[in-house]
Structure 1
Amino acid sequence: MFRPGWSVWWVVLALHKSVFGLEVSGNYNDEIICSQGLSLLTVIDVSFPIPENEAVEVQKLTPYFRLCCKHKAACTLCLVVDAELYVHMDKDMEGEGSGPDEDDSAEASVTLCYKTPSTLPTCKKVEFMVNEAAFPLQKMSMLITEPRDVFFSSHVIVFSSQSLNLTQQVVAPSLNEVCTQEEEHVEECQNVPTLSHVVYQESSWVELHFTGRNKSLVSLCIQNEQSGTCQTWNRRTIPLSSVTPCMCLQVWDKDRSSRRLSICPFKNEGTAVNVSFSKLIQGNVWHNVSVSVGYGRMNNHGPMLGWNLSAPCRLEGDVWPCHQEHSCRELQGYRQQLENSTWTQNSKGLWETKGVFEDINLQLSPCVMVHVKGMGHDLGPFCLHHTVRWRWSLLLVAVMLLFCFTVLVVYFPNDFLKSAKSCFQGRFMKIIRKGHVVLLSPPDADDGLSESICQLGSLLRNQGFSVSVDQSSRKQQCTLGPLPWLHSQLMELDSLGGRVVLVLTQRASARTVEWTHEHPLVTGLSQMKSPYSDMFTACLCIIQAEKQLGRAGERFVLVKFDPSPLGDRSLPELLQGLPLFQLPSQNQALLSELTVRGTGPGLRGRRWGVSDAWKTKTAARPVQQKASTISVI
C-alpha cells in the first residue's frame, strides 16, 4: 500500500481540520519541531539497539496519527511522536562547541523507535545541540510520513531505546473512518462499489445492484447486525424470507481496493414508504425465534429451569416461567429481560442468549413464555413435560407388547413355538451358518488378478462371511511368518467353520503338477525338499493329506478367473474332485456352496488332518524358515 521510507517534515502550526483524531496538515518541510533550547544538527536511521548518551532522558512519549496532504496531491498516513526530554546539564556531553557562538552549547542525541506486533523495530536517531543556558525540560516533535509496515488500522508500539519500559501504543485509524471525510484525496478510498437494491415481493426476492463497477469484480458478504460474522454471498439476489431489519451487507472490489462498504439497507425501510414490506421482514425475525427449555440442579442441589433462545437479530422483551393448566399462569418473581442478557452468535449466524430460573418447583412441570417487543402476542408456552409424556407412552407400548407376547405363549404354546422355531431355523440360521473363508492367491498373481481377488473378498464380506485374504494380510505375515499365519487361519476355521478358497491359474496348475511329481505319495517325506517353502505349496500338502482322509472336497474350493474353461479332468490329479467355480459367471453358485456346506458337525471340534503329518515331519527334521518367519510345528 505504501512505499517504505522516511521523510521528516516541519509541522505547520495552523491545521486545516481534524477528522476522527486525525489532523490534516497542509504545506510542510523536511524538518523536526524542537523547543528553543535545542538546535537540530542531523537526523539519521540507525539499527536497534544503540548506545545512548545519559545526558538526555526521555520522560514522556505521545504518539498519534495525522493525514498529511500536499497541495493537489494524494494524502498519506503520517505518524507523529511528541517527546518530552530532560537534559542533565551536569552530565558529560558527547562534544563541546568550538565556534565563538557555540561556547555555551553541547552536543546530545536521542533515539525514538516504533514497531508493529509482527515487525522489527524501526529507529530514528536525532542529534542536536543543547544550549546550556536553556531550561532542562525540552520538547521535540517528530513527524514520519508513510511509516514502514504501518497501514490503516495497524497497532503501533512507540518507545525510546534509552528506556524500553517507556512505551506507548497507538492504533492507526481505519480506512472507513478516513474515507468518510477524505475520500477524494486518499487513493485507498477510491474504487469502492456503491450498492442499491430493488424489492420484488411478487417474486419473493431482493435484487442487488452495484453501480459503476464490473459485477464480476465485486465481492459481497452478509451479516446479522454489524457486529456479527460476515458470511460470503455469491449471488446477486437474496430470498425475501431471509431478509431481516438487522441484515447488513459488506461490499468491496477485490481487485482494486481493500476498503469495504458496510451498510444495513433494511434497518429503517418501510416505516413510511412500504408498511407491508416492513411487517414482512419483521415477521421473518419472529418466525425464526426458537426456544428450548431444560431442567437441572444448581451447585447447592437446588432445582432450576434453564432456557435458550435464538433468533436472527438480538431482541428486546421478557422471558418468564409459567404453570400450564387451562392457560399458562405466570410464576411471579422470575421475569427476565432479553436486552440484559448476553448474546452470542452461533455457527449458523443466529444470535443466542440463555438464562436460568433458580429455585423453581419442578413438580409443577413449568414452561417458558416469551414476549418480544413489537409483537402483538406472546410466544409459547415452551414446555419440557411433552417429552416426559412421550417417554411414558413408549414405556406403556412396551408393557402392552410384553403382555401380548405372554398371552400368545400361554394360550397358544404349540403353534407359537412351532412358528418361532421355523422362523429361527429358516431365517436366522442362514446368518449363523456363514462362517470363515480363507482366500489364498496363486504365487504368480499379477495386478489384474490381485484386483479380482480383492473384489471377491469384498463380495464375501458383504454376504456375511468373515474373510481373510492373504494379499491384504502382509503385515501379519511379516510378523508371524507366512506359514504360521496360514496355520492360525486354519485354527480359526476349526472354531468357526468355513472353507479355504484357492484361486487357480494355468501356471498354478502347472506348478501343482510339478510338485506332485517331486513329492509322490510315499513315506519318508523328511528326505525330500520341504513342501512348506510358501503358502501355496503348503496348501497343496494339506489338500494331499485331506484327500487321504476323504474330506478334501468339504474343506477346499477352487475358483478360476481365466476366461478359458477348465474342466475337472484338465485339472492336476491332486486337485481333481474339488469344487471348481468359474468367476464371475458362477458367483451365485459359489455363495450357495459356501453357505450350505460352510459348517457342519464334521468340521467342528476336530483338527485339520495335516497336523499329524506336520508333527511327524518336524520330529524327523524341523523346518527352517527365513529370518522374517518362524518354524512351524
Structure 2
Amino acid sequence: MFPRGWFIWWLLLTLHTPACCLEICEYDSDEVICSQGLSECTMKNEILLVKNDAVDVQNLTAYFKLCSKSKESCTLCLMIDVELHIHPDFDMEDEGHSGLDEEGDNEEMRNPKAASVTVCYQTASTLPACKKVEFKVNHTALTEQNQAKQISMVITEPFSVSFSSKVLVYSSKSDLTREVVVPSIDEVCSQELRNCVEECRVPKLRFSIHKDNYVELQFDGRNNSLLSVCVQYEKNGRCQSWNRMTIPLSSVTHCMCLKAWYDQKYVRSLHCPFTDMDLSQRNVWQNLSVSVGQAQTTYGTMLSWNLSAPCRLEGEVWPCHRENSCREMKGFRQQLSNGTWKQNSKGLWEKIGVFEDINLQLSPCVMVKVTGMGHELGPFCFNNTDRCRLSLLVVGVMLLVCLTAIIFYLLHDFVKKWVWSWHHGGFVKIGRKGNVVLLSPPDVDDAVSESVCQLGFLLCKQGFNVSVDQWSRKEQSTLGPLPWLYSQLLELNSRWDRVVVVLTRKALERTEEWAHQHKEVIKTKWEDKGVSQIGSPYSDVFTASLCLIQADKQLGRAGERFLLVKFDSPLRSDRNLPELLQGLPLFQLPSQTPALLTELIAGGTAGRSGGKTWTGWKWGGSDGWRAKTKY
C-alpha cells in the first residue's frame, strides 16, 4: 500500500511530474552519487521504510533516462534526486541517542557520523520497491558549507516499469510524493535515440508484383516466425489481422496500409506503399457500391442513400428523375467530403445521407460523381413496394420455368429407360446393377495390372458386384483357375450380368494363335495336361474365356455376355480384331468409360436377339464349356 493511504493519488494531481523526452546516460548498474560533505555512500535494497530523525528530505525529484549498456543497446533507468537537510546538532547525536561522554569528545567530533535515507517507488499494480542509501556526514564539511546536501540515485531496469508506466516515488522522512510517467514507446521511437532501444526495431517492408495478379510481401529483420501483420484502410482505420505473405492485386488500394511488429512490447511500423499506384485507385472504384432506400423520421419519409468503398472518397451525390436519362433534381447536391465516414464490419468505409422532400412514389434515383473518375456512376434507383412485388412475381415464374426444364433434362435418361421397359414386357427396376466378371489379359505387366484394378474399383463405386481375377489369387490357388472361373460364371444368371475381357497386344497375339489351332488339338491338350499342368493363371483364365466366346458365337449370341475393353492405343476398326473377337462390343478406356457404364447398366439389350433369355453356364464334361440357352 502507498504511505498516507490511497488519498495520496488525488494529491498527485497537483504534484504530477510530466513525461519528457528521454536522454541517454552511461550506466550499466545501480549507482548512487552524494554531494560534498557526504562520504562512503552505498545503496542497497530495503523491504521496509526506515526513519532517521537526524536527516530530513527537503525535496524529491524523479525522472527517467535511457541507460546505455553498449553502443547498440540501452534500457530504462529511474533517476531520483533527493535534497537532504541535516540538523546542525547532528554531531551531538548518535543515531537517535543524544548526549556524549566527556572522554573522547574531541575524537568523535573529528570522526564522521553514519546516517541513511530510504526512497521507494511503485506502479499501481505492484508492491513498493525501496532503496536505502547509507552515508557518513563529514562534520568539517558540514560546518563549512551549506547544510543542504543532495543524493542522486540511478536505478537501472526498475522493477515492473516499462514504457508508458505511471510510477509513484516517495521517501520515508517526508510527505513528498512524486508521480512520473515514462514516455510511450511511440514517443521514444520517434526520437534520435531509437537506434539503441530494442523495442524500436521494426521490420522493413518490401513488396513485388507478380504476373499471377498478386503482391508478395517481404519483411527484412528478425525471424519472420515472430512477425505479426495486419491490414488497414486509411491510417486511422481498423487494422485486421493478415496471416499471409501475399495480397490479391484486386484488393490493393491507394489507402491500404500494413502494420508489422515482432511482439506486443515492440513498436508497430506503419507502411502505406501503394499510394501512387494507378491500379490501386481503379480498384477502389471497382469495389464501390451504392444502395438507395427510404428513411422514416419525425418529419416524414425521405430518400436515403448509402455509399461504401475501401477508401474514403471525394465527390458529389444528387437525386434525379429517371426518364430517357436521369434528370437531376436541382438544389439537392451533397458533398462526399462533408460529414462523417464510418468503417463497417467488413472493413469498408461508409457514408450515409438523406434527401428530404422527395416523392418516393415516382421511384427517384441517385447519381454519384467521384473525383478522379472520368464518368458518373448510376443511376441507382428506389423501387416502391408495388413494383417490387410485380418484379418478384416475374422472377418467381421464370424460376419455376427454369426449374421445370432442369428437372426434365435430368430425368430424360430415366424416362427413356422407363419407356424401353414398358415396351419390353412391363416395368423393371431402372438402374439395377448386376454382376461383372473382369478378366485380365495373359502375362500382364504392372501398368496393365494397375489399370485393371482401377477399372474394378470404378465399377464397384458404381454399384456393380465385381469379381476380378487378380483379386482372387488365393481362391484360384485352392480351386484351380478353371473351376474358379466356372464358379464365377454360375453367378451370371441375369440379363444385367456381363463378362469384361481386357485386351492388350499380347492378348490379341494369343487369340490369333489360339484361333489357328485345330479344335480337336486344343481339346486333346486340355484333357491330357489337366488344370494343374498349366502354369500361368492369367493364361488359363484368358484361354478359357476364348473357348466360351467361340461357343457363344456358334450359338449366334455374340456380344450378349462378353464385352471387350482396351487401355492402350485404339483400334481403327473392328476388322483389326482377330476374327474370334469381331462382333463383340469394344470400348476404348478411359475415353469411352461412360459408354461402358451405360452398356453394363442397360444389360446389352441392343445386342439381344429374338426371345432368347440367358439362364446360366453348364459344365459339359468331355465336351468342355457349353452355354445353356432357353428359347
Q: Over alpha carbons, which structure has the higher Rg?
A: 2
Q: Same fold (TM over 0.5)?
A: no
Class of the TM-score when normalised by the shorter of the 2 chains? 0.3 to 0.5
TM-score normalized with structure 1 length:
0.45
TM-score normalized with structure 2 length:
0.45
